[in-house]
Structure 1
C-alpha cells in the first residue's frame, strides 16, 4: 500500500489559487472551512465527507465542490485511501470570471456538491498539472477555462435564501470579539455577556449561523492567522504563539486537520517561488 503524501502550495501564475495534491489513507479532515472555493478532482479511490448535514461520497472522475465558508469534513471510504487534486480559487477570482461571462454581480454559488462533468474535471486537472510543473501560461489559461465552464453549467445566479440571510447581530459581534482575541479568548459566559445573550442561546445561534460552535470557529481563524504568518516567513514557535495556539503541537494538530499538511511542510512548499517538477508516486 502506498504511503500518504500531500503537498500544498501556490503557483506564481495563479496568485489567488492554492493547490493541493494528495493521497490520504488514514488522515481525516476535521470539520473546517475555507475562505476560498474548493474544487477537487478525485483521481483514485472514494472520498466520504460531511457537507451541510449530509454524508456524501465522491469517486474517480468526480468533482467535489465546496462553496466558501461552508463546513465540511473528509476521509477515505476504502483502506487504499483516495488520491485527488484540489484547487482553492479565491472568491474574488471566481466572481471576476463570472463578471467576464456577463453573469449578475455577487458571489457565485454552486448548489451541487458532487459533480459528474468530465470536461470540467479534465480542465481542472490540466490546470493543476500545469501549476505543478511550472507552466505559467497553461496554468492560468486552463484555470480560467475550467472556471468558466463550471460557472456556466453549475453555478446559481444567487445563493439560496438560507445562505443569503444576514448573520444575527449578536453572532456578528461575537465573531468580531473572537477575531480580536485569538490569544486570550473569552469563556462562553463572558462572550455571551459581551453580546447581550445567555450562553446556550448564543451557542445555538452561533452554530446555526457559522456551522461551528465558537471554540471550533476560533480554531479555524487561528489556522488562517497561522497561514498568514507562515507565508510571511515567521518561525513556527512564534506563529503558534501569535496565532493563539498553546504550542507547536497544538498548531500542527489543528493545521493538518484543516489543510491536510503540517505547518512546516506548508511553509516549505509555499516558500518555493517556482516549484520544480515533482515526481508524485502513487
Structure 2
C-alpha cells in the first residue's frame, strides 16, 4: 500500500470531546505557527521532523511524543524532505479538566497546564499507538474505543502530575484583556489603532509584548482564532463558503489558503471526516 500525504481524520459524534488525525507521508505537510483550543498530543510513527513550541525548536523522531497545552503556539514540519508520519490527538479542554479533577489531580475544576514539550518513552508511545489504531478501526465497538481513550488519558494524567512543571510567570492582565478582546471580535475588522486606544499601548510595544507572551502577533492570533471558528463550522457540516463567512473571511479562496497554511489540510479534507 502506497503512503499518502492526505490527512486521515477520525471523529465520532458519540465521542465529541476527541478527534484524531493521521498522516502517513508528511514530507509535504507543513504548518505555519498556530494553536488549538484543545489539549493535543502527537506520536511520531516514522521518520523525523522539527517541533517548534514556545519559540524553541526540538528535533523529534520515531518513538517521540509531543504534548501541547491549549492555546500554545507550535508547528511540526519535515526535515529536508525526509519522510515522517504521525498521529495527532485533540482533546476538549473542559472534558480533560473534569477527568483530572475527578481523579483527584486538580483541586478545582479549572484547567492547569500539563508538562509540555517532548516525551521520549517507548511504553507511552506504544500505548498511544494502540489507542490510536483502536479509534481508527471502523470495526471496533464504541465501548472499546471509549475504554481505550479514557484508560490511556487517565493513566497519562497521573504520570504527568508526578512531573508537573514549575509555575511560570503569568501573562499581564492587560495583555490577557487584549487577547480576550480578539477572541470576542475575531470575525471583525480590528485595527491596531483601535487596540492601542482601548488598552493604552503604543503600537510597537503592543506588538512586541503580545508576541513575547502569546508567540503570535495580534493579527496572527486573530487569524488563528478565525481558523478555529471555521473548523467548528466544518465539523457541524457547514459548506466551505458558509464556514468562511462565519469565520470572518472576506472570500472562500482566502479562507482555503489560510486553512491549509495553518492546519496542513484543506477545508474539504477536514470536512469530509
**Aligned ranges 1:24-173 → 2 under 5 Å:** 24-105=26-107, 106-134=110-138, 135=140, 136-155=142-161, 160-162=166-168, 165=170, 167-173=171-177
The partner residue of 1:259 within 251, 257, 263 is 263
Give 2:199's aligned residue. 195
Aligned to 1:185: 189
TM-score where L is the length of structure 2: 0.88
Which has the larger displacement, 257-266 or 216-225? 257-266
CA gap 1:128/1:155 in 2 versus in 1, 3 angstroms = same
TM-score by length of 1: 0.86
Q: Secondary structure at the match of 2:32?
A: strand
Tell me how far 1:128 sits from its aligned partner. Answer: 1.5
**Farther off after superposition, 129-138 or 68-77:** 129-138
- Closer, same or farther: CA 101–112 of 1 in aligned 2, 3 Å: same
Paired residue for 2:5? 4
Displacement after TM superposition at 1:216 (Å) = 0.2
What is the aligned residue count?
267
Contact 1:127-1:142 at 8 Å conserved across structures: yes
**1:54-73 CA deviation, whole Å, 9 max, x = no partner?**
11022111111111111111
Is the Cα–Cα contact under 8 Å of residues 123 and 142 in structure 1 kept in the other structure? no
Unaligned runs of 5+ in 2: none
CA distance in 2: counterparts of 1:115 and 1:183, whole angstroms: 36
Cα shift at 1:117: 2.1
Structure-2 separation of matches of 1:176 and 1:243: 17
Alpha-carbon shift at residue 39 of structure 1 (Å): 1.1
Partner residue of 1:277? Answer: none
- Deviations along 1:218-264, one digit per CA (max 9) or x if unpaired, are 11110111112222322212221221223222212222233221111
For residue 103 of structure 1, give the secondary structure of its aligned residue in structure 2: coil
- Of residues 255-264 and 32-41 in structure 1, the stretch that sits farther from structure 2 once superposed is 255-264
Q: Which runs of 4+ in 1 moved over 6 A?
A: none
Question: Which runs of 5 or more residues in structure 1 are unaligned?
Answer: 270-282
Q: Give the secondary structure class of the aligned counterpart of 2:7.
A: strand
Distance 1:53 1:104 in 2: 28
CA RMSD of aligned residues (A): 2.2
**Is contact 2:55–2:215 with CA below 8 Å preserved after alignment?**
no
